[in-house]
Amino acid sequence: MHTQALKEFDGDIYASIGRELKRQEEGLEMIPSENFVSPAVLEALGSILTNKYSEGYAGKRYYGGCEFIDEVETLAIDRAKQLFGAEHVNVQPLSGAPANIAVYFALLSPGDTVLGMDLSHGGHLTHGHPVTYMAKIFNFVRYKTNAEGLIDLDNLRQMTLEHKPKIILVGYSAYSREIEYAKIKAIADEAGAITMADIAHIAGLIAAGEMSNPVPIFDVVTTTTHKTLRGPRGGMIMCKEKFAKAIDKSVFPGFQGGPHENNIAAKAVAFKEALEPAFKDYAKQIKANAKILEEEFKKRDYKLCFGGTDNHLLLIDVTPKNLSGKEAQIALDKAGITVNKNMIPDDPRSPMDPSGIRLGTPALTTRGMKENEMRQIAAWIDEAIMNWQDETKLADIRRQVIELTKKFPLYSI
């Protein structure tokens, strides 16, 4: 066994981690799905729990020596139940996509229909995009937003009655509005459909009481544990007790092998953090910061998809500013501001060079930035977009960004 520290044993990896830390410290991380975990979460993630195999579930493992692993996993489950009001929780999914796929295999037969949001209207790849393998196995029908950028529930009901889906799926990766879970549940009940919500992006806002909670209403809810929940990269499934056995069996042994117990320990730590009063303040500030960005971009005549935001993110069509989403992302990278290029509803452009950019406030809020910083950042984003080919201007913005980030330091590794 090598007992040298990483710096001495593998200088290449150590240096790459150091450069990434510097990038995170000196930049403005605005990809809505990214966040900064606490040192306690990092400590659990890098713990000796990574050494242990533990196929199965607490009290029903296929390996010996799992008594303390059971403690960890049970704590994670109990805390998640408390956070979301869930009847049953599975914390073993490795990430959001495996969580969704495990639910499909638990509740569907090949050829069954799922009604899910179109990717360009804010949905997710795993909600039935044709490029995914799930689309070859199940019949995905995709609904869209209306001209105002909102989900048309009358149209959703018509599609439900027409296509008779086994599952109606809501919850999105680029949609910025609240979701009317009770009304959607009523539509599903009328058609005898199972309700499923993917709250990967907004789980932290829901846990803090800052957005509506589908867990008591819907049959199944999936989420990631990073993003607004500010935990390690991983997935989780919450469901009514009637679906518990099928879903647990689908996760293991149906789809995954040994769970990553170091990751589950880090999830448990993050859930404990989310149960603290300070997390509610954090979630409120995420939304307040996003609202300021909305106001500032509207002042500057940007085209905001869905009309604005009720959560942590904004989807912006930048083509009226005479550049593509890809060009905007590259320019902002040079300015030290990280966003991601993104499709807009019915985007005429390609996914790799789309019309929009997606940006959000969770990571900046974790650093302690508030309304005044958002106003300054919006001004920099506008300046970078309006001068996207001016390398000197972009470099000047980057220098100002670095000065701002010095006032909101990150941890050091």
Q: Which residue of the set 118, 198, 210, 219 is catalytic? A: 198
Q: Which of 375, 365, 356, 364 is nearest to 315 (CA)?
A: 356
CB–CB of 126/352 below 8 Å?
Answer: no
**What are the beta bridge partners of residue 29?**
338
CB–CB of 39/411 below 8 Å?
Answer: yes
Is 224 an annotated catalytic residue? yes
CA dihedral 35, 41, 45, 46 (to 10 degrees): 110
Helix (H) or strand (E) holding 269: helix 261-274
Buried b (16+ CB within 10 A) or exposed e, 168-179: bbbbbbbbbbeb
Is 63 an annotated catalytic residue? no
Instruction: Compute the distance between CA of residue 30 and CA of residue 24 in angstroms, rounded to an integer.
Output: 11
Q: 284: how many CB neighbours lie within 10 A of its CB?
A: 15
Q: Which residue of the set 34, 55, 152, 333 is catalytic? A: 55
Q: Which residue of the set 222, 224, 309, 365 is catalytic? A: 224
Q: Which residue of the set 185, 227, 321, 341 is catalytic? A: 227
Q: Which residue of the set 14, 25, 34, 53 is catalytic? A: 53
Instruction: Compute the distance between CA of residue 91 and CA of residue 98 in angstroms, rounded to an integer.
Output: 12
Buried b (16+ CB within 10 A) or exposed e, 123-162: bbebbbbeebebbebbbbbbbbbeeebebeeeebbebbee
Is 233 an annotated catalytic residue? yes
In the block, which residue shows the tokens 């930035």? 369
Is 248 an annotated catalytic residue? no
Is 29 an annotated catalytic residue? no
Is 10 an annotated catalytic residue? no
Instruction: Compute the distance between CA of residue 406 and CA of residue 21 in angstroms, rounded to an integer.
Output: 13
Q: Which residue of the set 61, 81, 144, 233 is catalytic? A: 233
Instruction: Compute the distance between CA of residue 272 and CA of residue 263 in angstroms, rounded to an integer.
Output: 14
Which positions are annotated as active-site residues?
A: 53, 55, 198, 224, 227, 233
